[in-house]
């Protein structure tokens, strides 16, 4: 059996959103901890956030011209076939020159051409599906994939049962243990220890409905003695900050982006969040009461499906995007007044957590390369 000094070559392809990129980086780091001499090459889509985030994490990345097909007719769609052909050609060249022992696809535009090129050469391929609803590309590639790592049970609806490994989604290490971080969190975010903390997170760019619902609810939250730690996202930060200042509210704390998410989670008594795959995986580890407000603007409504996978197990509450502005305040208040409900939600969501996901995925990868 090959040991840690082995120079394996691994390609990890995909990206487009943090939900694809951060698990990919976590897998790469866990693989390098196991096999420090390995070479890991990322392949992403030109102009997407992976082209910045992956080098920041210390890994080389190659970009493909691939882009998505727009749902309405645009001039962009006319160039789509050419971008696909160009990306397939470049993917074939990358696979030929890099000679990987294994190719991992994490979803996103770049995943398709690279896995397809590897499968055509008979190389082992692994799909890491983060969502409870498998996307079309992964469903097509699954037929020839060697293994498929999933984050939710019952994924044999989409994939061949014998290839599925239920590993969970890899998440940041700093949130695996929040004990003893509350005091640091109060200090960091200027919070008072004796008032409940409501944490609202809508992604790095922000979520319009969540921000509108929070603006509608913030006076009521302050009047009831709650504090709000609120990640507005970059698009909405100026507007929200101005409105909070103009309202003279003392305990509403808008942040453009929260870097120390472990501290934010440690401070929170209740979390309001979109239900992207990574958020759901993180929140199951955090084990706080959660209200999911799924984004309606994602392919095949997979955020609702992610949230429902938790809600049906009694692990979270669901508030639809269309009802959020009207009903968020009363739902938060009802939950914060009900300690038994908070505890049952916390216990149920924690049962769904997979804290060793990255290590388990590396175990599957190791079997494939040996």
Asked if residues 329 and 216 have their Cβ atoms less than 8 Å apart, the reply is yes
Q: Which of 131, 138, 107 is nearest to 294 (CA)?
A: 131
Residue 340: CB partners within 8 Å, gap ≥ 6? none
Dihedral sign (CA 317, 26, 158, 163): negative
Q: Which of 342, 340, 341, 328 is nearest to 221 (CA)?
A: 328
116 class by beta-carbon count within 10 Å (0-12 exposed, 13-18 middle, 19+ buried): buried
3-state secondary structure of 276: coil
Residues making up the annotated binding site are: 17-19, 131, 172, 204, 258, 277-282, 303
Residues making up the annotated binding site for UDP-N-acetyl-alpha-D-glucosamine are: 17-19, 131, 172, 204, 258, 277-282, 303
How many residues does this entry show for the chain? Answer: 370
Q: Which of 306, 305, 273 is nearest to 292 (CA)?
A: 273
Compute the distance between CA of residue 305 and CA of residue 211 in angstroms, rounded to an integer.
22
């Amino acid at each position: 059996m090959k040991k840690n000094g082995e120079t394996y070559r691994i390609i990890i392809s995909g990206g487009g959103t943090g939900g694809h990129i951060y698990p990919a980086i976590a897998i790469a780091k866990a693989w390098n901890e196991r096999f420090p001499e390995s070479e890991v090459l990322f392949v992403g889509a030109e102009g997407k956030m992976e082209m910045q985030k992956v080098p920041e994490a210390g890994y080389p990345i190659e970009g493909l011209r691939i882009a998505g097909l727009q749902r309405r007719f645009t001039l962009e769609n006319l160039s789509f076939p050419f971008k696909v052909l160009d990306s397939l050609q470049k993917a074939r060249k990358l696979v030929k020159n890099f000679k990987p022992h294994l190719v991992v696809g994490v979803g996103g535009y770049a995943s398709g051409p690279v896995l397809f090129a590897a499968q055509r050469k008979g190389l082992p391929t692994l799909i890491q599906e983060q969502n409870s609803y498998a996307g079309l590309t992964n469903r097509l590639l699954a037929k020839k994939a060697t293994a498929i790592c999933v984050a939710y049970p019952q994924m044999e609806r989409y994939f061949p049962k014998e290839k599925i490994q239920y590993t969970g989604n890899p998440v940041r290490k700093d949130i695996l243990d929040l004990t003893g971080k509350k005091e640091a969190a109060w200090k960091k975010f200027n919070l008072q220890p004796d008032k409940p903390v409501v944490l609202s997170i809508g992604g790095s760019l922000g979520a319009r409905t969540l921000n509108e619902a929070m603006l509608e609810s913030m006076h009521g939250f302050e009047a009831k003695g709650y504090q709000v730690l609120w990640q507005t996202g970059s698009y909405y930060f100026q507007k929200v900050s101005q409105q909070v200042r103009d309202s003279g509210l003392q305990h509403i704390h808008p942040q453009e982006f929260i870097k120390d998410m472990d501290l934010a989670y440690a401070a929170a008594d209740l979390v309001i969040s979109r239900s992207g795959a990574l958020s759901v995986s993180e929140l199951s580890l955090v084990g706080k009461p959660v209200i999911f407000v799924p984004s309606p603007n994602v392919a095949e409504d997979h955020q609702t499906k992610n949230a429902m996978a938790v809600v049906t197990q009694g692990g979270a509450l669901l508030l639809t995007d269309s009802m959020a502005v009207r009903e968020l305040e009363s739902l938060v208040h009802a939950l914060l007044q009900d300690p038994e409900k908070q505890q049952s939600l916390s216990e149920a969501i924690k049962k769904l957590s997979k804290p060793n996901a990255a290590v388990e995925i590396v175990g599957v990868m190791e079997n494939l390369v040996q």
